[in-house]
Amino acid sequence: MGCCSGRCTLIFICTLQLVLALERQVFDFLGYQWAPILANFFHIIIVILGLFGTIQYRPRYIIVYTVWAALWVAWNVFIICFYLDVGGLSKDSDLLTFNISAHHSWWSEHGPGCVRREMPQAPGVRTTESHSYITVMGCLMDYQYIEVMHSSTQILVALLGFVYACYVVSAITEEEDSFDFIGGFDPFPLYHVNEKPSHLLLKPMYLST
């Protein structure tokens, strides 16, 4: 009963992780954040693997998911440090785009209440664009805190998944051990009928007269 409850909870957690990962992947694509895009891709693959292992009673797949959950927590801690400028990191750098482009988080321009301020092209300056981007004003929340909230949610759900994955692996292993103990995997069960020898010794019979 406990294993069934743990499996159902882990299935729900994996499903929630998939939803959150897909939501985050969409906004990272919109912001051209290539490093998070790759991380989200691997995260989705491993979560699907863990979900499959939970449904099909495959403890090895769940163990892989457990190891990834720990790495996923570490990755999101790094993202939090990046956006809060901790440890020499800077949210204004191009680290998450592999220095390919100067794009930043999609939320930096499209956060709640944000209004983009643009000005017409200056006289005498010829560019391919009709206007140049100046600044963003009126945001109800700075974009770095939105990213921190996303990563914090990911950490919380990953920790829950880690705990329940360890519990499910332990429960499945105990069930397999107990089944093996009572002879479930023994080709010769405890209660079996001794086979008769394939050859019989024929003894001569003498009839008394």
Residue-wise pLDDT tens digits, 57-104: 999 999 999 999 999 999 999 999 999 999 889 998 989 988 887 788
Give the 3-state secondary structure of 142-167: CHHHHHHHHHHHHHHHHHHHHHHHHH
Nearest to 7 by CA among 53, 43, 45: 53
What are the tens digits of pLDDT across the range 159-202? 999 999 999 999 998 887 665 555 444 444 444 444 445 454 45
The reported pLDDT for the residue numbered 125 is: 52
pLDDT at 13 exceeding the cut of 90? yes
State the average pLDDT for the chain. Answer: 82
Domain limits, the chain: 1-92+142-178
The reported pLDDT for the residue numbered 118 is: 72
Q: Is the pTM value of this prediction over 0.85? A: no
d(CA 83, CA 151): 10
- For residues 96 and 182, is the Cβ–Cβ distance under 8 A? no
**CB-count exposure of residue 113 (10 Å: 0-12, 13-18, 19+):** exposed
